[in-house]
Structure 1
Amino acid sequence: MSEQAVITEFLTLDQFEVAEGITLQSPQVAYEVYGELNEDRSNAILLFHALSGSHHAMGINRGIAGNEFWTEELHEGWWNDFIGPGKGIDTDRFCVIAPNYLGGCYGSTGPSSPDPATGQPYGSRFPHVTVGDQARFAARLLDHFGIDRLHAVVGPSVGGLCALTFANLFPERTHKVVSVASSYKNTILNRLLLFEQILAIENDPYFNGGDYYDCGTPNLGLALARMISHKTFVHIDAFERRAKREIVPEKEMLSWYGVTDPFQSYMLHQGKKFTKRFDANTYLRIVDMWSSYNALREAGLETAEELFAGSKREGHHFLVFSIDSDFCFYPEEQAELVSDLEKSGIPVTHLTVHSDKGHDSFLLEPHLYVPQLKFHLEHDELPGS
């Protein structure tokens, strides 16, 4: 584990207009930086995080002043084994910039942030955000650093949607693209699972349409949403290993029913733990942007050939990881992306990770990703070329 201490930094923009036409005044982006920019600012890597992740990807960050959601679970960077000197993303060579999403709850302006016009949390008045909004929001952060063109844009899971969309909207601003266990279209099954999570939060008696910051929090709904999603993150065989054998009585979320097996106890524990480190409104905003995602629609185009024309023109190189046991972003989704990239004449390396850990493999098994990631970032030629 890396013990390097890092801090969250903040940039306040003058304003930012989201896709639905609403303009936020003085929005703030929270971010962390690992490594140093070189003289011509050509060694930057933009890193997007997963749904419930944060901008804290490397080192130790023990707190963000005034942030109630920054629990001990977040202190260690979520990609510590991937980022650092000599690692997959080598900070002796590259400068990693990792922002927190617009709508987030870890320092970027979101529903729990005070509206400058009223001084009260935005709540229900915070707008819908799209994956395209996240790409444009990150581009504003790059402008602040004077970075015209990235060495690479990288994203796992939902972060992969953002990485791909950034490359599509700003093809001239990157050279390489890394998509880990992600996609470029949303499946019907996934949209239904995400809708179940939205319903869980919306129907919590404390949700109050999103205006709950002074009258209780929708913890039951958020916990249930997390439990629904957690089933897709962890392979079913891993539940056998993770669930403790004892059954913990549950009175807070259940009244008549009694927990009958350790797997129910495990899922309840995961749901309740999550409510301490995440905001329900933020969860809704990110799930909403994920549910409605379609790379063609984000770019206002109709065909994959049009979508990847900018990548072809700018000479992008893609690295796409699949996980064979992934129930969140199925391997078939990455295969479709790779097929359309190849048809468009884009250099792409597609690697399938064989794992029994499901979608969470990209967090838990660095040895299956780091060598390939390091080669892709440090070489222009493709393996076998």
Structure 2
Amino acid sequence: MSAIGPVTTQFFEFGSPEDPFRLENGATLSRVRLAYETYGRLNAERDNAVLVFHALSGSAHAAGINPTSPIGPDSVLDPAIWTDECEIGWWDNFIGPGLALDTDRYFVICANYLGGCYGSTGPASVDPATGAPYGSRFPDVTIGDIVNTQVRLLDHLGIDRLKATIGGSMGGMLAMDLALRHPRRVRMVAPVAAAAGTSALTRVHNFEQLYALQEDPNFNRGDYYGGPKPLQGMILARMISHKTFVSLDVMEARAKGYIVQDDNDLKGYQMRHQIESYMLYQGKKFARRFDSNSYVKILTAWQSFDLARTFGGGDLEEAFRRSRGHQYLVFSIDSDVCFFPDEQAAMVHALKRAGVAYHYVTVHSDKGHDSFLIEPELYTPTISYLLAEAHANA
């Protein structure tokens, strides 16, 4: 049972034709809408806020129970994209009274990304200038663009400086980008199972997914709204990524059951192995709950992520010098094959050389990358202790 209980999605809008939001590539959006949720209360000093960044395909719904789809009238997506599995917060075991992000102490915020499909402005949103969905006309966004929109949200909420920012996987990348891009806006930075840049292997995995999505005959360069959905590309993309999120042992354990193969599945091949059926099931489940265009846009942002290049002229140590006023908490998962442990080790080495205070924790788990979502007991003691220490020393 959720410690938070029922919650509702909130929305923040900014921008106008006269004062549009300008992206790093020079493109503009005349109106931006962010879906977000909050948990706990902002104190009188407004200094107890924690900003949580979600992973690649996450949403603003980090904790509690929210059966109401965040898909509004400004989007052409079917509200049913908010499936049953979306109703429970994706970090529900981490956020709440007495949990890692203790809502009796902290005001916790989570917002859906620009370019996403769970209530924030993205490719499926209606362009105010045309009355039609953006589709292929939605501009590419960067990690910096996503961070800058969330800083606008902090301004709206009257929060000058965060107690902490935390995120797992891609969320950890955004947490670090915020710290380097807006160093005065945060005290503590906690990347969980993340990296300071996109590795060659990750770029290959992402490219495989991008190719699968865009080569689906129904993708139509992103202008598929109102027509057949590019489901096959999305199913394949999810199967490509899923094997990096979950350890092989866990996949094999979950696959123990029966084989399900619909008449339309692989007409020239008969599945004989339970793990094949499991992977296809995961792909189909994801295709029902996420928009292909949003997946393309967020993957594209990930592809170009590189803290060293963006903030240090190619030198990660130089980039992290911007964080000398911060306290870092870096989590590594020893079985992670999405962000390998040596990627966090490289981050910590650069932090040390840059003179940045840090704590480095290696989590021992057989669950792989997804450990940060499903094993709160491995993370909560350290997060709770360091947040409380930072709170006491503020």
Give the TM-score normalised by structure 2. 0.94
Aligned partner of 1:130 in structure 2 is 142
CA deviations over 1:5-30 (Å, ceiling 9, x no partner) = 00000011113111111110111000
Mapped pair 1:248 → 2:260: yes
Of the candidates 23, 26, 51, which is equivalent to residue 28 of structure 2? 23
Q: Does 1:231 align with 2:246?
A: no
Tell me which of 66, 71, 78 is aligned to 2:83. Answer: 71
Q: Partners in 1 of 2:348 and 2:390 — Cα distance?
A: 18
1:121-163 Cα offsets, whole Å, 9 max, x none, are: 1101111111111111110000101111100011100000000
Equivalent of residue 227 in structure 2, options 208, 215, 221: 215
User: Which residue identity is paired with 1:366?
Assistant: P
Kindly state the Cα deviation for residue 248 of structure 1 after the two structures are TM-superposed.
Answer: 1.0
SS of the residue aligned with 1:32? Answer: strand
Offset of residue 380 of structure 1: 3.7
Aligned residue in 2 for 1:373: 383
CA contact (8 A) 2:9 2:35 kept: yes
Partner of 1:53: 58
How far apart are residue 300 of structure 1 and its match? 6.4
1:323-353: CA deviation from partner (whole Å, max 9, x where unpaired): 0000100000000001100111111111001
Instruction: Say whether the 8 Å CA contact 2:23–2:145 is kept in structure 1.
Output: yes
Aligned to 1:335: 345
Q: Which residue of 1 aligns with 2:120?
A: 108
Q: What is the alpha-carbon root mean square deviation over aligned residues?
A: 1.4
Distance, in Å, in 2 between the alignment partners of 1:334 and 1:283 is 25
What CA distance in whole angstroms lies between the structure 1 residues aligned with 2:299 and 2:183?
26
1:200 aligns with 2:212: yes
Correspondences of 1:273-312 after superposition (within 5 Å): 273-299=285-311, 301-312=313-324
CA distance in 1, matches of 2:326, 2:343: 20
Q: Alpha-carbon deviation of 1:280?
A: 0.2
Select 1:162's aligned residue among 152, 174, 177: 174
TM-score, with length taken from structure 1 = 0.96
The answer as to whether partners of 1:250 and 1:258 remain within 8 angstroms in 2 is: no
Q: 1:252 aligns to what SS in structure 2?
A: coil
Is 2:46 aligned against 1:34? no
Deviation at 1:245, TM superposition (A): 2.5
Q: Residues of 2 paired with 1:254 and 1:53: CA distance?
A: 29
Q: 1:356 aligns with which of 363, 366, 369?
A: 366
For structure 2, the 5+ residue unaligned runs are 73-78
The aligned residue for residue 191 of structure 2 is: 179
Q: Which region of structure 1 is more displaced relative to structure 2, 16-25 or 168-177?
A: 16-25
* Structure 2 residue 332 is matched with structure 1 residue 322: yes
Instruction: Pick closer, same or farther for the CA change 1:230–1:311 going to 2, 3 Å.
Output: same
Name the structure 2 match of 1:117.
129
Q: What one-letter code is carried by the residue in structure 2 that aligns with 1:72?
A: D
- SS state of the match for residue 307, structure 1? helix
Equivalent-residue separation in structure 1 for 2:58 and 2:92 (angstroms):
13
What SS does structure 2 have at the residue aligned with 1:250? coil
1:165/1:298 contact within 8 Å kept: no
How far did 1:252 drift?
A: 2.6
Change (3 A) 1:189 1:302: closer
| Structure 1 stretches lacking a partner, 5+ long | none
* Cα-to-partner distance string for 1:288-345 (whole Å, 9 max, x where unaligned): 1112211123336332233122211xx2000000000001000000000011001111
CA deviation after TM superposition for structure 1 residue 119, in Å: 1.1
What fraction of aligned residue pairs are identical, expressed as a percent? 52
Shift in Å, 1:355: 0.5
Aligned to 1:11: 12
Moved over 6 A (4+): none
**Whole-Å Cα distance in 2 between the matches of residues 181 and 155 of structure 1?**
9
User: Whole-Å Cα distance in 2 between the matches of residues 91 and 378 of structure 1?
Assistant: 12
